[in-house]
Structure 1
Amino acid sequence: MMGLNFSSGYSSPSEEFHWVLSALAGIVMCKIVYELTGVVSVLFFMGYAKLSDSEKLEWNNRGFSTFHALVVATASFYLILLSDLFDESLPNGLMINKRSTLSNTILGVSIGYFLSDLAMILWHFPALGGMEYVLHHGLSTFSIFLSLVSGQGQVYILMVLFTESTTPFVNLRWYLDIAGQKNSRVYIFNGVALFLGWLAARILLFIFFFYHMFTHFDQVKKVFPLGFYSLLTVPPMLAMMNLFWFWKITKGMLKTLSKAKHTQ
């Protein structure tokens, strides 16, 4: 398939230049979408001008967060399920070593996003998130970087990046709240969608993730030492964070549904 240049082993100098360029593109993307979010919001949301500076900051930040989530979730879905990049029936090397120009690009762009968002979180700490966000972004950046440098384990990085598909629902929930729409039907429907999406993408998918690692452990063991031990430790940490957030999402949804029922 076009764009799927299979290879294995450590990244070549040309690949390294490519994903570094992709990371820079990711940073530029965040800046552009951040500014565009402000411009578009002024034109189409009258309440934007009345927001405080800190609220505008987070509003625009969630704009490029949503954009990144849509891009990487779509690309991850394509690479894992629709393309033949990780098709084990093809004689093109071990699944653990497979990568392509597109997968390198997506991972590079994600590094750019996580670095941009992390920089904003630290600069405005704790306005945009507490230490749990610093930990999440730090672990994500570290894991993606190791995968790009080594050229290994991209299938697992892409699985985790697909969990970003829940981010638009999280951000829409915040937007509706700040816009005074917490009692609207859209807020309720979005809360249910967030619960279902989180269950599918961040709970059930992680269960499959660990099952896949277990059934392919003969290949996982071939990952270079730091990458191997990272695969054994980072995903469980992310899974625990996802469970904690899922508990909070579930409580919030039940509270909202209960309130809506009593107001009918």
Structure 2
Amino acid sequence: MLGAEGASRAIESYQSQAEQLMKDYLLADTFVPYSSILVGIFACKLVYELTQLLSAFYFKSYSSLSIIKRIEWNNRAISTVHAVFITGISLYLVFKSDLYNDNALSGYITYRSSFLSTSALGTSIGYFIADLVMIVWFYPSLGGLEYVIHHLLSASSIAYAMITGEGQLYTFMILISEATTPGVNLRWYLDIAGLKRSRAYLVNGVVIFLAWLVARILLFIYAFYHIYLHFDQVMLMHDFGKLLVFGVPLVLLAMNLVWFGKILKGLRKTLAKRQ
């Protein structure tokens, strides 16, 4: 156990570190974070072009879609690929690796980062930038105001965690919620394909309901519990970092609950039609 004087010095040291983070990062090596953002944007463009090419060749219904529907088709492929990528990385870093394990490494978990964690966040920012540009450009065809708010909050919190190295653990916890995206996109594809009355559509609805409950509600509750257990470490973060750790998950959770209500209502309607 640290003595009172030692603990006080440790707290002052971490507070000083937090205050200097935003001033010092410009002098650090920025190759990894900023190059990973470019990689993310380039990957989105590549997936878009490949989806357009392969869909026109393998799906007859693709060519008969309107231009905006084809754009949304390609856009959803991008979000699906990003969701699979970032969910896998987030699950590994949060629950499997030793990076954020309390007992594996010394130092506060709120300041831990690695090459993998930083580059993964940068790639994710690249996706959110590319997707937000598309949403705004074709507004509101690809999503309404709630999508713009969601992307702005996500991109800002991810960028802060990437640049400063603060609170990356909680950023990855929230990014696990992207696990619901492939199911939501598959539902849209099934609808476009005229399979709204199929068994696959029903199973998809149930899977989305369960995945949303776990990844976008229960996981958020776990994140807040984890913040509570490490409250003393979180309070050593920069004020803006603390605002993001406490504020962004709350706003996203509120939005998730609203969407969850719509999912539940839609599932009930689907089940009622089959009785």
Return the TM-score normalized by structure 2: 0.90
Aligned to 1:51: 65
Report the CA distance between 1:14 and its aligned residue.
5.0
Map 1:1-264; keep pairs closer than 5 Å: 10=21, 11=25, 13-261=27-275
Aligned residues: 254
Aligned to 1:3: none
- Give the SS at the match of 2:236: coil
Unmatched tracts of structure 2, length 5 or more: 1-16
Worse overlay, 92-101 or 22-31: 92-101
| Larger of the two Rg values belongs to structure | 2
Report the CA distance between 1:109 and its aligned residue.
0.5
CA distance in 2, matches of 1:43, 1:16: 41
Residues 188-231 of structure 1: per-residue CA shift (max 9 Å, x gap): 10110000000000010001011111111000001111111222
Worse overlay, 141-150 or 160-169: 141-150
- Give the SS at the match of 1:188: helix
Aligned to 1:5: none
Report the CA distance between 1:43 and its aligned residue.
2.0
CA distance in 1, matches of 2:210, 2:105: 37
Query: Do 2:98 and 2:105's aligned partners in 1 also have CA atoms closer than 8 Å?
Result: no
CA distance in 2, matches of 1:87, 1:138: 29
Return the TM-score normalized by structure 1: 0.93
CA distance in 1, matches of 2:30, 2:176: 23
Provide the identity percentage: 49
RMSD: 1.3
